Amino acid sequence: MASISRGLTRRQLLSSAAALPSVLSMNAGAQSVSAYPAKPVNIIVPFTAGGSSDIGGRILAGELNKVFNVSFVVDNVAGAGGAIGMQKLLRSAPDGYTFAYGGLSESLLIPMINKAVNYKTEDFVPVAMVGAAPVGIVTRPDFPANSIDEMIALVKKSPGKFSIGSAGIGSFGHVMSEVIKEKTGTFMVHIPYRGGAQIISDLISGQIDFAVTTLATAAAMISSKRVKVLGVSSKERVPLVKDVGTFGESQALKGVDMLVWAALFAPPGTPDAVVQKMNQAIVQVNALPSMKALVLKLGSELPPSLTPVQTKDYLKAQRELYQVAASRIQPE
């Protein structure tokens, strides 16, 4: 040590000593990331159990359990169309142990529509895209319409008679219902809910006439023929309901094709190394053949494999896409 220090000036020694803590910090950081996660990780799902977000969140949590050999626990935090769950994420410690399975509605549309919500999409750290799915217009099996065009014809005859449910004010389903109203010149009473599962329950019991929901939420009821799908929002038909036409195949909604997506978000300030490690794990999970088969069975799609930066750019483009439609909705 003496022979090394003898050739150094006092200033150089002081400079080296000052740099030592940052070097040690970098090494400690690298070690902590390599050991991450070292304890259970929470994934906030901003809706009640049983809906598409809950299903997707639990599937993702189960696969991440296998990747990291650590428990990933779903925390259902419902209310305000998903805003309460996202607000909880905003208040969470940025330590890599809390994330949110945030969909298009609660992470992007609601803060655009409701200025009282105290967050913006840009407040969160986007980790990866985790889901994509078309939505369907569903109704009771005995409802006297079997397609989008037949539904619109009935609604036009009796403005205000029929109701349509969504997962809350400013949700994707709400925006979609407004697009349908504007495109077709019809009026239906909008009924907001706290999550997709309750919508389907009330639809079956006759409390509402129609629901805008992801096919994953209604998959079991579709298979058992307890609800019927009038149309889907994707460009192409969906294997789960291959006999049901797309919006684009109808006269009433020709040109309308929209997917609802989900991304994994982290609290602001989450270390980039943690974000990158989670992103790589999710890309790995989405590449599994078993995952592809499962999401197709549920009527969903695998999202594109994007880096955190690409995910951020995608969210920015989505904001621009929905800006006009969202501006037409007033918080209730």
pLDDT, tens digit, 9 for 90 and up, residues 220-277? 899 899 999 999 988 888 888 999 999 999 999 988 877 889 999 999 999 999 999 9
pTM: 0.73
In this predicted model, what pLDDT tens digit does every residue of 22-49 receive, in sequence order? 444 434 444 467 889 999 999 999 998 9
* pLDDT score, position 76: 97
* pLDDT score, position 318: 86
* pLDDT score, position 41: 98
* pLDDT over 70 at 11, yes or no: no
Are 298 and 240 in contact by the 8 Å Cβ rule? The answer is yes
Compute the distance between CA of residue 144 and CA of residue 61 in angstroms, rounded to an integer.
Answer: 40
Q: Does 168 or 191 have the greater pLDDT score?
A: 191
* pLDDT score, position 31: 46
Domains of the chain, first to last: 41-133+261-327 (3.40.190.150), 134-249 (3.40.190.10)
* pLDDT score, position 107: 94
pLDDT grade for 207, boundaries at 50, 70 and 90: very high
| Over residues 189-218, mean pLDDT | 87
In this predicted model, what pLDDT tens digit does every residue of 137-163 receive, in sequence order? 999 999 999 999 999 999 999 999 999
Please report, as a single letter, which amino acid is at residue 245.
G
Residue 80's CB is within 10 A of a number of other CB atoms, namely 20
Compute the distance between CA of residue 88 and CA of residue 330 in angstroms, rounded to an integer.
Answer: 24
* pLDDT score, position 331: 67
In this predicted model, what pLDDT tens digit does every residue of 115-142 receive, in sequence order? 888 899 999 999 999 988 888 999 999 9
* pLDDT over 50 at 21, yes or no: no
Core vs surface per residue 17-36: b (16+ CB within 10 A) or e: eeeeeeeeeeeeeeeebeeb
In this predicted model, what pLDDT tens digit does every residue of 237-249 receive, in sequence order? 888 899 999 999 9
* pLDDT score, position 66: 96
- Phi then psi for 2, rounded to 5 degrees? -60, -40
The two three-digit tokens of residue 79, written as one number = 């209310």
pLDDT grade for 188, boundaries at 50, 70 and 90: very high
pLDDT grade for 284, boundaries at 50, 70 and 90: very high
3-state helix, strand, coil in the chain (%, to 5): 50, 20, 35
* pLDDT score, position 317: 87
* Residue 37 preceded by cis peptide, ω within 30: yes
In this predicted model, what pLDDT tens digit does every residue of 286-297 receive, in sequence order? 999 988 888 877
- The C-alpha R_g of the chain, in whole angstroms, comes to 24
* pLDDT over 80 at 324, yes or no: no
